[in-house]
Chain A
Amino acid sequence: MSTPKLDGAQALIQTLNELGVEYIFGYSGGAALPIFDALETVSGNIKFVLTRHEQGACHMADGYARATGKPAVVLVTSGPGAGNTITGIMTAQMDSVPMIIITGQQVTWMLGKDAFQEADIFGITMPVVKHNFLVRETNSLPRIAKEAYHIATTGRPGPVLIDVPKDISQSDFTGDLNPDLDLPGYNPDSAFEIAQDGISRAAEIISTAKKPVILAGHGVMISRADEELMELATTLKCPVTTTLLGKGVFPETHELSLGMLGMHGTAYANKAMVECDLILNVGSRFDDRIIGQPEKFGANAKIIHIDIDPSEMNKMVHPDVEIIGDAKTVLQALNREIAPLETSSWLATLDGYKNKFPLAYRKQGGLRMQQVLDELYQLTGGKAIVTTDVGQHQMWAAQFYKTDASYNWLSSGGAGTMGFGFPAAIGAQLARPDDTVVAVVGDGGYQMTLCELATAALHKLPVKILVLNNHYLGMVRQWQQMFFDNRESGVNLEGNPDFVKLAEAYGIKGFNIKRPADVGKVLQKALDYNDGPCVINAECIKTENVFPMIPAGAALEDMLVAPPKHKMAKPTGST
C-alpha cells in the first residue's frame, strides 16, 4: 500500500504536528492558502486561533511561550500580512522568546518582480530574528521546519521565520519526512560544557566577598535554574535582585529578595548595586535600563558574568570572570564549590534601606495605579499570571505585583512594545487554562491591539483586562514634566472610547473603578467572573509619577527616590 501523496504544505503541517506544536496563531491570505488548507486536511493535535491582526498573532505566540517555555507558531500570508508581524517578531527577539513564524510568499518565479503582495520578508526580518529561511525546494520543508524549531528553542532562544512561496507549498512532496538537521554552524550543546577554570575563579572571588549581590535575569528562567539559584542564594546568604524579565526566578517575597533593580527598580536593590563588593550576574545581559552609566556601574565590585551567549560578554560591562554556558549547568557546578558567607551586617544594612525606602503610594487625592495593582496582588495572593504593556503601569506592576514563580510575569522588556499585554494574555490563558491571567495595560497600549477582544470573546477566555486609564501616555508625560519644563507634547489621549461600552459591543463583561474605595470589591467581582473575558476600566489620576527613578544614562547612585525639587537637566542616556 503506498502512502497517500502529500503536498509541501501538508508535509510542513505534519512536521509541526510531530514536533509537538500545540497552537498556531494567524491570519489567512492568498499566498498562504495551501498551508491553511493543510490545517484542514492533515490530522493532528494542532489548534488554530484566528486573530484579528498579525501583530496580535505574534504576541499571542509570545505570551504562550513566556507562560510555558514552549514555542508556538505564527502563520500569516505574504506582503502586508508578513509585514504586520515585524513588531511582534522584534519583541520576541529582544527578549529571547522562542517562536516560529511561517509566512506565505508569492510564487518563486515572481520573486523580485514586485508581484501582488510580494515583500522581501526574508530580507526585512533578518535583523530581528535569530535565523530565517526562504524555502526554495518543496522537499526541504520538513528539514527546515525541524531546524527552525531546533534553533528557536535551544541555546539562547529566539524567533525563526520560514518564508514559503506558494508554488513550494502546493507542489508534490516526494522527500523524507524525518530528515536529519543540517546546521554545521550551530552547536548549542557546547553551552553544557562548562570550563572548570571559570567556576574555580568565580568560587574564589565569591569566598572573599563581604557584600555580595546576585543579579538574576531571564536566563535563569529559560534554563529552569530556579532551584539552583535558590541553593546558591541561601547557601551564601546572599541577597538577590532580578531584572524585569527575571521577575519570578527568585521569590520576591523571600527575605533575601531585593525585588527588581534598574531605572524604576527598588531603592534598596539599586543601593545594593552601588555598595556591594561582588555582582554575581546569572543570565542577565546588563541591559542599559539596569546599569545606568556603564563607567560607574559596579565600580567598587568584582563582577562575575554567567551567560549562554558569548556576544553578551564585555558588551556593556567588563566582568572579572566570564562564564559562558547554560545557567543551570553553571550553577550546579558553582554550588559544589561554595561555602556559606558571613553577610549578616550587609543584610542588616539592606534591611535598613528596605525600611527607609519602601515602595509606597498615597491613597488620598484620587485613584492611583499603584493602589489598584497592590490590591490586585493581595486579592490574587500573587498567584496570577500578569502580562503588561509598556509605561508607568508596567513599572508599577513590576514594583507592586510581587512575583514568586517563573513564567508568571510576561512583559515586553527589551523592545518595550506597547500593545503587547492583552494579546500575550490570550496566549498565556490558552497555554494555562486553569490559571488566572490578568492583562495589566494602559489606555495607550491597549488601544493598539484591542481588536483581539473578538479573539478572546470567541474562545471565551477568562482573561481579565485591567485598563489603568489616565487618558495619557503617562511615562512620556512624566519625562516632559521632569526634563522638558512640563511642556506636554503628543501625550494627551483625549478621545478615548468608553472601554466598558466597547467591551460590551464585543459581548464582553465590563467593570468601572472610579474611587479608591471601590478597588477591592470591583476587582473581586472581576476575578470571580469566569464566563469569558472581562474589562476593568480603572480611572486613574494623570499627574502621578513613577519613583524611584534613575534618569537614563545617570549612575545608579544618582537615583531619585522622590520627585526632584529642582529642575532636572535633560538625561544623557537613551530613552
Chain B
Amino acid sequence: MSRDIVTSDSSLAPSPDIIGGHTLSMFVNNQPGVLMRICQVFARRAYNLDSVVVSRGRDPQFSRLTLGISGDPAGLEQIINQCNKLIDVIHCFEHDENESVTRELALVKVLIDPGDRAEVLQILEHFGAKTVDLGTTSIIAMIYGNSGKVDAAVHLLSKFDIVETVRTGKVVMARGEAAT
C-alpha cells in the first residue's frame, strides 16, 4: 500500500439521501493491494470516498487508514462488516464525532494584490492558520483543524483569487483510552 498521503478536494455538501461526515478508521496489513481490496468494497456498493488518508503504523507491518465516506446510510453496517471480513483488515471501526477527535490540514494558494494582503493575513490569524509561503503576488496558507473549520476558512478566502487547495483529508482518533 502506498504510504503517501492521498487527498481529495471534494468538500461538497452531501445530497440529502446520502450520509455525510462518517469517518471509518482501519488498521490494516501494510502490503501492496490492500487499499485496492478496501476500495472495491466501497465502489461496488456505490459509496464515494470523500477522503482517504493512509500512513504507515508505528509497527511498519501495519498501516493506518482513515476514510471519510458518503453513501446510502442503510448499508453502512454492511460495509463495516465487509471491511472487517477482509483478511488484510485487522479491524475497522466507525467513529462517532462526540467520542473522537478529527483533524485535517489544508494548503491554500491565493493570488493577491498588495492592497489585499493585510485582510488575508487577518483572516488567517483568526483561524490560527500559518503562512508557509509569501511572495509579491501570492500566499500559501496552511490551515488545520476539524473539517468544518477548514471549510470556513476556505470559504472566507474565496472572495480572493484561490488558485489551488490541497487538503489532506481528515484523520481520526478515539478519545480517552478507546482504540481507534
Identify the A interface with B (CB < 8 A).
Answer: 122-123, 126-127, 130-131, 134, 151, 183-186, 309-311, 313-315
> With A and B bound together, what is the CA distance between A272 and B33 in angstroms?
47
Contacts known (A122-B33, A184-B29, A185-B28); A130 close to B78, Cβ less than 8 A: no
For B88-102 the 0/1 string (1 means CB < 8 A from A) is: 111100000000000
CB distance from A148 to the nearest CB of B (A): 10
Known interface pairs A185-B28, A311-B81, A314-B77; A126-B87 also in contact (CB < 8 Å): no
Please, which residue of chain A has its CB at the minimum distance from the CB of B77?
Answer: A314
List the A residue with the shortest CB-CB distance to B43.
A127
A185→B33 contact, CB < 8 A: no
Contact of A126 among B28, B36, B62, B82 (CB under 8 A): B36
Q: Does B29 lie within 8 Å of A314, measured CB to CB? A: no
> Total interface residues on B, using CB and 8 Å?
21
Q: Are B37 and A151 in contact (CB under 8 A)?
A: no
Which 8 A-B pairs rank lowest in CB-CB distance, beginning with the nearest?
Answer: A311-B81, A131-B87, A185-B90, A310-B81, A186-B87, A311-B82, A311-B85, A185-B89
- How many Å from the CB of A222 to the closest CB on chain B? 16
Chain B residues, CB < 8 A from A134: 32-33
Partner of A185, one of B32, B77, B88: B88
Is B44 an interface position by the 8 A CB rule? yes
When chains A and B are docked, how far (Å) is the Cα of A127 from the Cα of B88?
14
Q: Shortest CB–CB separation between residue B28 and chain A, in angstroms?
A: 7
Nearest B residue to A312, CB-CB: B81
Given A130-B87, A310-B85, A314-B77, 18 more A-B residue pairs with CB atoms under 8 Å apart are A126-B33, A126-B36, A126-B37, A126-B40, A127-B44, A151-B87, A184-B90, A185-B89, A185-B90, A186-B87, A310-B84, A311-B78, A311-B81, A311-B82, A311-B85, A313-B77, A314-B78, A315-B78
**How far is it, in angstroms, between the C-alpha of A151 and the C-alpha of B87 when the chains are bound?**
9
Chain B residues with CB under 8 Å of A131's CB are 87-88
Q: Answer yes or no: B86 CB below 8 A from chain A CBs.
A: yes
**A-contact bits for B18-41, CB 8 A (1 contact / 0 none):** 000000000011001100110010
- Given A134-B32, A134-B33, A311-B78, residue A127 in contact with residue B86 (CB < 8 A): no
A183 to B31, CA, bound (A): 13
CB of B44 to closest CB in A, whole Å: 7
Q: How far is the CB of A120 from chain B (nearest CB, A)?
A: 10
Q: Could you say which residues of chain A place their CB within 8 Å of the CB of B91?
A: 185
Contacts of B62 in A (CB 8 A): 184
Give B contacts to A, CB under 8 Å: 28-29, 32-33, 36-37, 40, 44, 62, 77-78, 81-82, 84-91
* Residue contact B78 to A127, C-beta cutoff 8 Å: no
Contacts of B28 in A (CB 8 A): 185
Question: Which residue on chain B has the smallest CB distance to residue A122?
Answer: B33
Q: How far is the CB of B73 from chain A (nearest CB, A)?
A: 13
Closest chain B residue, CB of each to CB of A324: B81
A227 vs chain B, min Cβ distance (A): 29
Residues in A whose Cβ lies below 8 Å from that of B81: 310-311, 313
Determine whether the beta carbon of B37 is less than 8 Å from that of A185: no
Q: In angstroms, how far is the closest chain A Cβ from the Cβ of B143?
A: 36
- For B84, list chain A residues within 8 Å (CB): 310-311
**A123 with B33: CB separation less than 8 A:** yes
A158 to chain B, nearest CB (A): 10
Chain B contacts for A185, CB-based, 8 A: 28-29, 86-91
CB nearest to B62 among chain A residues: A184
- When C-beta atoms are compared, the residue in chain B nearest to A311 turns out to be B81
Q: Can you offer 15 A-B residue contacts whose CB atoms are under 8 A?
A: A122-B33, A123-B33, A126-B36, A131-B88, A151-B87, A184-B29, A184-B90, A185-B28, A186-B87, A310-B81, A310-B85, A311-B85, A314-B77, A314-B78, A315-B78
C-alpha gap A313/B84 in the complex (Å): 13
Alpha-carbon gap, A122 to B77, bound state (A): 27
User: Min CB distance, A301 to chain B, in Å?
Assistant: 22
